[in-house]
Amino acid sequence: MKATGYKFLHMAQAAALGIVMLLGAVSDAVSASRIKDIVEFEGVRENQLVGYGLVVGLNNTGDTLKTGHFTKQSLQAMLNRMGVKPTDDGLDSKNVAAVMVTAVLPPFARQGSRIDITVSALGDSSSLLGGTLLVTPLLGADGEVYAVGQGQLAVGGFAAQGDAETVTKGVPTSGRIANGAIVEREIRFSMTGMENVKLSLRNPDFTTARRIAQAINAFLGTSAARPSDLTTVRVQVPTSYRDNVVGLLTDIEQLRIEPDQLARVIIDEQSGIIVMGENVRISTVAIAQGSLTIRITEAQQVSQPGPFAEVGTTTTVDRTNIEADEGEDRRLTVLKPGVTLQELVNGLNALGIGPRDMITILQAIKASGALQAEIEVM
């Protein structure tokens, strides 16, 4: 019976150890990132398109043609191409608006495929709700037409106004057309026969680039990958993937690594937002935050003579109350060497410091040389 108990205890300990190891492996797997999420493959990229067009069918919310010269000229040119010869006096409509049309051409987009477009008012139009975009060529950076857009706008916002009040929701001067443009020209790029593939890190880092190369070499069993700098990892296409570069990239992008990151503190002074990375460390430093608050309250009291007094009048007298808070309850906090991010936040919160004051304190710690991190102000 005793031996059975020892055996059961040993099995329980082994099971507990296995659970701990399994949880550790799961934690490492969760913290690791896929290569496809932290790199971009050279040549596989999007391209920006832009165009100028007209939106018609608005409910008296278009551009003012008398003041919008470019809208009037565009409308006249369009009607002239259609054989209509309008006069200046005849162009007095509020149902037309000049717009800029933008789109993103996906990689390997083929001729005849459709892409989404965004339409934004260019003139003084108050709303594009209910409008229809006329045929608009979309140009690339080289000036060539790569797509043509047209269709009914979907506007999420609206505006309504009366004599005494105006209500606006969202942005009524911007809308989208799903699948509103047809690709007319392809960007030629072939992956067949490639001998080298370049991976570009979205967040350049030497350590991360080396880890990517090590993971790829371990998967391929060769030294095909080598980082050329902190941004680029060059991969030699193995013989087994010579005519299957797509298969190579598919296998590579599923590999997982642990990206490294710089110790950085991001500060947005306008909104008071502070974002600190986990590698931020603080050397020995003492922090005290004091504030002087003076509150002045003005009040008026009625002063009147006593009952049956022969002289005196009722009047108001100013009463001033002044309070001064010198922050005596503020304490001095000493941060030990190499404190973690959590310890830093806890120490500052113990002083009752808000985000605005914390920004100033972090900048002061950096100026003293005790903050082992880079501060980036947005």
Given the structure tokens 């191409």, which residue do they identify?
Answer: 81
- Least confidently predicted of 6-20, 173-187, 279-293: 6-20
If asked whether residues 201 and 247 sit together in one domain, one would say yes
Write the pLDDT tens digit of every residue in 214-251: 999 999 999 999 999 999 999 999 988 888 888 999 99
If asked whether residues 61 and 173 sit together in one domain, one would say yes
Measure the CA–CA gap between 222 and 140, rounded to whole angstroms.
Answer: 41
Write the pLDDT tens digit of every residue in 2-55: 444 444 445 545 554 454 444 444 444 456 889 999 999 888 889 999 999 999
If asked whether residues 343 and 279 sit together in one domain, one would say yes
What is the average pLDDT across 332-354?
Answer: 64
Measure the CA–CA gap between 92 and 95, rounded to whole angstroms.
Answer: 9
Measure the CA–CA gap between 71 and 63, rounded to whole angstroms.
Answer: 7
If asked whether residues 151 and 67 sit together in one domain, one would say yes
Let me know how long the chain is.
378
Contact 82, 45 (CB under 8 A): no
What total number of domains does the chain contain?
3
Question: Which residues span the domain enclosing 161?
Answer: 47-183
Strands 174-183, 273-276: pairing is: unpaired
What is the per-residue pLDDT for 258? 92
Q: Angle at which helices 245-253 and 206-220 pack, to 10 degrees?
A: 120
If asked whether residues 53 and 120 sit together in one domain, one would say yes
Contact 177, 147 (CB under 8 A): no
Whole-model pTM above 0.95? Answer: no
Query: Contacts by 173-176 with C-beta closer than 8 Å and gap 24+?
Result: 173/120, 173/121, 173/125, 173/126, 173/127, 173/128, 174/118, 174/119, 174/120, 174/121, 174/128, 175/118, 175/119, 175/128, 175/129, 175/131, 176/116, 176/117, 176/118, 176/119
For the cut 70, the answer to whether the pLDDT of residue 324 exceeds it is no
If asked whether residues 164 and 209 sit together in one domain, one would say no
